Structure 1
Amino acid sequence: MALRPHALLPRQYDHRRVLATTVDAWGRAHWLICPDAELKPQPYGSPYPRPRTYPYDALLVTDDRGTIHEQTLHDVSVWVRHVDALPNGRFLLVQGRGTRGERNAQIYGRDGRRRHAFQMGDAVEFMMADRQNHVWSAYFDEGVYADPISAAGLVRWDSGGRQEWRYSAPEGIEYIDTVYAFNVDDGVAWASYYPTFPLLEVRTNAQTCIRTSPVVAPRGMAVYGEEIVMLGGNRQDDRLHRCRMDGHEVLPVEEAQLTRPDGAALKQYARPVGRGRHLYLRGSAKRWFVTGI
């Protein structure tokens, strides 16, 4: 199976540094650009762009089905690693790493001005919003074991930054150490997490379901009804595992190899974004592809 092209940052922005990018709940691609950023070495992985000074004005570029929009977000004071759109033209920016007590999440209005800031915890692995004013944050181990907000592993907020729910593993189920794969649709989120990699389904009406899964350490997922496709896992990053949910189990149906649109091997990609039945991947900061159910 081949990926399909979804969105591409136009060439006029090629010389700019992209701090964060995503595909939102409406299918629009966003890139947050800092005009004055430098590449900073990381403890692991490639160097990552970081603003030289704070606060700074960031340029948000949006591809809405081929139509490009620009918006300036003023006085950003965090090193943004996650960006997402909220209803009513608002945006949420989140710094992935934070210190206790730090307001590392900032909400901006449609006029590009900051409306609110709040604490979202440390070591944010995923931050995703839906179209119904829900925001989900999922964490990795360095926050889970050190920060009181991140300790739950998965937290839900309203779109104003008020904490609504936090995960607590049922008796006999391992707690979240690190969320590996995540998917958010309107009113529901799915997560696969270390160490035992169950499929956790959480709904905003407080219903939860935990299913055993045959896929170990998936990198992304798409969900539609009782069908689920998991990408990666079992040490095969280009493998699609088609499964179905049956009670408290995820049952394998078939496997396929995922390739780039031209049929070339899918070798490297950043953390995918799962939006219901769609799974978005990027091989660079500027190009998004899509697959799904």
Structure 2
Amino acid sequence: MTTRKADAQHHAKPPAVPSAAATPLTPYARLPRRHHDRHIAHSTVDAFGQAHWLLAAREPGRGRGALKPYDASVVTVGPDGRSHETELSALRARFPRIDALPDGGFVVADARSRRSEQHVQVFDALGRESWAFRAGDAIEELLTDHEGRLWVGYFDEGVFGNDELSHPGLRCWSAGGEPLWAYEAADGASAIYDCYALNVSEDAAWACPYADWDLLEVRPDGTVRRRANGTAGATALAVHQGGVTFLGGYRDERDRLVHAELRHQEVRPYATGRLVGPDGGPLGQRRRTVCRGPRIYVQEEPHTAWAVYDIGAVNDR
């Protein structure tokens, strides 16, 4: 993913705005300790607030030779802290991305794939594979919505690669593999070179892509609203009642928060801050984020716990 290594000096910084105090994350969900001896292949938080860990005996694809299908399990922890486990058989993903479906099933995609591979597997609630399909190489983000649609953002090696499915940079698929929508640059807008940040809420999908950083709002009917945005390098975003908060940036701005108003044609910052861990300490360099409406979920190494930053809870106080 070469664009993520771009030199920060080539990108305009947001206008000077007042600086806010550090904001700590709130603990959200934790993998039960009895599962800590297994390899965490991937983890996410779904559209309904449940946390999921995809666990395998060892890291997929390690060693020589072709990858053999492997068994794995999904440990699900609900908002109430209760957990249950679902066994999945014959996974084929070397670099898995997982999310849950509204019917209790799961979708597991391999982030890297060849054009001949059916690299997205759909499992029912009992862990049985129902079907498989292609969704394109170089998957950066995979998020399902409340209706079971799959929103997929791609990084630059897919956008500029030889798999035409990845070229739009952002697509929506049905859980059955039917292409529902693909981004098209129109009216002089820039193409998506890398889908840096993706948020899937109940009523829209939001993206902040490289290279112009415009905030894209994709409505259920497929229409796209663009807002000019000067905040470069954000890797996560949250939206709530006319406001947006961006997390991330280049170099020493990885933990930066930029709070802004959603205007008709632009994003207007009004304050900045810094996101810190639940204990007030700095966030680690290697972390995962999942964005759902007003929430940014953050998972640091060793990936056994999720924490959350909820701009809805902050703004509604």
Q: What TM-score range do you get, normalising by the shorter chain? A: over 0.9
Number of residue pairs aligned between Structure 1 and Structure 2 = 285
Q: How far does residue 15 in structure 1 lie from its aligned partner after superposition?
A: 1.4
Matched, 1:225 2:241: yes
Q: Percent identity?
A: 37
Cα deviation, residue 52, structure 1: 8.9
Task: Give, in whole Å, the separation in 2 of the partners of 1:38 and 1:165.
Answer: 31
Residue 245 of structure 1: aligned partner? 262
**Residue from 31, 39, 63 that aligns with 2:77:** 63
What SS class does the counterpart of residue 300 from structure 2 fall into?
coil
Cα distance in 1 between the residues matched to 2:114 and 2:61: 22
Instruction: Give 1:100 deviation, angstroms.
Output: 1.1
Contact 1:37 1:51 in 2 (8 A): no
| Runs of 4+ displaced beyond 6 Å | none
Equivalence map 1:12-51=2 (5 Å): 12-37=34-59, 40=62
- Segments of structure 2 that go 5 or more residues without pairing to the other structure are 1-22, 312-317
Alignment of 1:118-267 (within 5 A): 118-146=133-161, 147-233=163-249, 235=251, 236-267=253-284
- The 1:51/1:210 distance shift into structure 2, 3 A limit, reads farther
Tell me, what secondary structure is at the counterpart of 1:37?
coil
| 2:59 partner amino acid | A
2:314 paired with 1:292: no
Q: TM-score, normalization: structure 2?
A: 0.86
Aligned counterparts of 1:38 and 1:157: Cα–Cα separation in 2: 25
Measure how far apart 1:38 and its partner are. Answer: 6.4
Higher RCO by CA contacts (8 Å cutoff, separation 6 or greater): 2
Is the 1:220–1:271 Cα contact (8 Å) retained in structure 2? no
Kept after mapping to 2: 8 A contact 1:30/1:61: yes
Q: Deviations over 1:114-148 (max 9, x none)?
A: 00100010000000001112110000111111210
Letter in 1 for 2:29: A
Q: For residue 39 of structure 1, report the CA deviation from its aligned partner.
A: 8.3
Q: For the residues of structure 2 that align with 1:270 and 1:55, how far apart are their CA atoms?
A: 27
Q: CA deviation at 1:77?
A: 2.1
Partner AA of 2:228 in structure 1 = T
Structure having the higher strand fraction is: 1
Quick one: which of 18, 23, 27 aligns to 1:5?
27
The answer on whether the counterparts of 1:19 and 1:32 sit within 8 Å (CA) in structure 2 is yes
Equivalent positions of 1:268-283 (< 5 A) are 268-283=285-300
C-alpha distance in 2 between matches for 1:279 and 1:265: 16
Please tell me the residue identity of whatever aligns with 1:128: L
